[in-house]
Structure 1
Amino acid sequence: MMSILTVNHLNIIDTKTNKVIVKDASFTVEQQTCLGIVGESGSGKSMTVREIMGVNPRWIRSEGEVLFENRNLLEDNDKRRRSIRGKKISMILQDAMTAFNPIEKIGAQMNQTFVQLLKVPKRKAERLSLESLEMMNFQEPRTVYGSYPHELSGGMLQRCMIAIALVMKPDVIIADEPTTALDSINQLEVVKQFRSLKELTGTTMILISHDLGVVQRLADNVIVMKDGEIVEQGVTSTVFNDPKHAYTQYLVNTRLQLTNSFNDSLLSGVKAKP
């Protein structure tokens, strides 16, 4: 399988404190697969993907290579980086509410995105918006289209963001903690939508999450990060079923303990019923 994006010896430094946030990270993302990046808060996973997108603050400096379309993105100027954002590499943010302008309706914002980035007429942009909302299984896509962001739930806004990505058909979609702010029912729904997005478009995905269950459902390969370093990587099932690094073992065991205690509480609830 061909690689679509390769990261070589990436170092990310905070120039204000001289702290190395990510140290010597190297990995490959293969075409039409999903790469999961897991680790606790502060492990460097979000900073890594934001450097790929070129959206880290200006005082963040990076060294190494991020190879995409036969060029090192880290050497590109701002204009060239902006030209690939959204169109070639798209990012679905952790807090969907911050991705939308609170005083503009969802449909208007979707239309604007498609007119600007796809260079289509406004009427076609409207049609694309409604069609993509239908594909996201909204029961009333026109109502969603005419709603303001605050009128929709976090899960619905996530699905609107996925709908935009569905139309843009980027080569790579980066999802940064897409299920963190959602309850378990909405989490399951978003996981299903990501899976259908991957199947419908054949896009490549990078999924950042501290939730091993979500990563297990979606990712073909996984990277485990701790304190800015990659401590383990490989096929998801292999890494989770036979973790080699002590930190990965800790993450997997913690996940199993949570799952078992949840199942136990469900069973005890069932037993308690008359």
Structure 2
Amino acid sequence: MLLLSVNKLNIRDQKTGKTIVRDASFAVQANTCLGIVGESGSGKSMTVREILGVNPRWIQSDGEIWFEDRDILQDDEKQRRALRGRKISMILQDAMTAFNPIEKMGYQMRQTFVQVLKVTKKEAERLSLDSLRTMNFSDPVAVYKSYPHELSGGMLQRCMIAIALVLKPSLIIADEPTTALDSINQLEVVKQFQYLKELTGTTLILISHDLGVVQRLADHVIVMKDGEIVEDGTVANVFNEPQHPYTQYLVNTRLQLSDSYVKTLQAGGV
């Protein structure tokens, strides 16, 4: 079933007159993961932020974004705000900026569930702790009572996933969720996204420059360069038979890095 359809989306910066995204068209099927890859400035983050309706006021767009049988690009701010969190959630690259530094995690999770789900504070607390347990925290109560700065980047990412687990949005957008993490935390967050997909069947849009993460999580991939989609296909096709020179460059670079890593381990007797 088709969940999201973007048709001929153009995004412009009115301050500079620059066109950031040109004629972007793609579709996202329900219960799948779409990976969006591309270098910095390719337009991938601006595209998904336009889906959420959170780009700055001077960013203008035209085209169509169909979600739940309507073109949400025509919605007013109140309608777009109603979609955010409940229907479409975003997991940010820097998890620290997603939370209020002066409030404990438990309070922030509880307030989110009270406001969005209209449940009691007691029920919101139960939902918070249950979701933290689901994310395999060894001491959910300690996390619940912690301030954001007392938790690692990987733990904060898992808290964001825990919130999404409870809200059960139709679509989760993850913008470079592993970039700021070390390799151990990256692997843990990838595992949690896999678990989230299997547990809830939610639909994901994953933005990442890490082809390994995309290959592991995504079903379908689009490649963006200079504001345009240059390749669109299944993970198997894009990674095994890339058609565009830029995609070929990305895939070959990743293979070279992987080969170098393996050779280094072998040389070291690992």
Q: Same fold (TM over 0.5)?
A: yes
The reply to whether residue 53 of structure 1 matches residue 52 of structure 2 is yes
Whole-angstrom distance in 2 between the partners of 1:205 and 1:143: 29
Whole-angstrom distance in 2 between the partners of 1:69 and 1:154: 33
Q: Where does residue 197 of structure 1 map in the other structure?
A: 196
| CA-CA distance at 1:49 after TM superposition | 0.2
Whole-angstrom distance in 1 between the partners of 2:5 and 2:205: 12
Secondary structure of the residue that 2:268 maps to in structure 1?
A: helix
Secondary structure of the residue that 2:269 maps to in structure 1?
A: helix
| CA-CA distance at 1:70 after TM superposition | 1.2
| CA-CA distance at 1:264 after TM superposition | 1.1
Aligned 1:74-223 pairs, distance under 5 A: 74-223=73-222
Q: How many residues align structurally? A: 270
Whole-angstrom distance in 1 between the partners of 2:157 and 2:259: 29
2:74 partner amino acid: E
Residue deviations 1:217-265, cap 9 Å, x none?
A: 0000000000000000010111100000000000001111111111111
Secondary structure of the residue that 1:55 maps to in structure 2?
A: coil
Secondary structure of the residue that 1:207 maps to in structure 2?
A: strand
| CA-CA distance at 1:69 after TM superposition | 1.1
1:152 partner amino acid: L
The reply to whether residue 62 of structure 1 matches residue 61 of structure 2 is yes
Secondary structure of the residue that 2:191 maps to in structure 1?
A: helix
Q: Where does residue 24 of structure 1 map in the other structure?
A: 23
Whole-angstrom distance in 1 between the partners of 2:91 and 2:266: 36
User: Which structure 1 segments of 5+ residues have no match?
Assistant: none
Residue deviations 1:78-116, cap 9 Å, x none?
A: 000000100000000000000000000001000000000
Whole-angstrom distance in 1 between the partners of 2:74 and 2:51: 12
Q: Where does residue 239 of structure 1 map in the other structure?
A: 238
1:189 partner amino acid: E
User: Which structure 2 segments of 5+ residues have no match?
Assistant: none
- Percentage identity across paired residues of the two chains: 75
Whole-angstrom distance in 1 between the partners of 2:67 and 2:28: 10
Residue deviations 1:44-87, cap 9 Å, x none?
A: 00000000000000000000000011111111000000001000
| CA-CA distance at 1:41 after TM superposition | 0.5
Q: Where does residue 228 of structure 2 map in the other structure?
A: 229
1:16 partner amino acid: K
Q: Where does residue 41 of structure 1 map in the other structure?
A: 40
1:210 partner amino acid: H
Secondary structure of the residue that 1:166 maps to in structure 2?
A: helix
Q: Where does residue 9 of structure 2 map in the other structure?
A: 10
Whole-angstrom distance in 2 between the partners of 1:48 and 1:3: 18
Whole-angstrom distance in 2 between the partners of 1:126 and 1:41: 39
Whole-angstrom distance in 1 between the partners of 2:158 and 2:267: 35
| CA-CA distance at 1:135 after TM superposition | 0.2
Whole-angstrom distance in 1 between the partners of 2:266 and 2:119: 55
| CA-CA distance at 1:29 after TM superposition | 0.2
Whole-angstrom distance in 2 between the partners of 1:122 and 1:14: 42
Give the 4+ runs in structure 1 shifted more than 2 A: none
Secondary structure of the residue that 1:194 maps to in structure 2?
A: helix
Secondary structure of the residue that 1:270 maps to in structure 2?
A: coil
Whole-angstrom distance in 2 between the partners of 1:25 and 1:175: 19
Whole-angstrom distance in 1 between the partners of 2:151 and 2:269: 34
TM-score normalised by length of structure 2: 0.99
| CA-CA distance at 1:269 after TM superposition | 1.1
Secondary structure of the residue that 2:257 maps to in structure 1?
A: helix
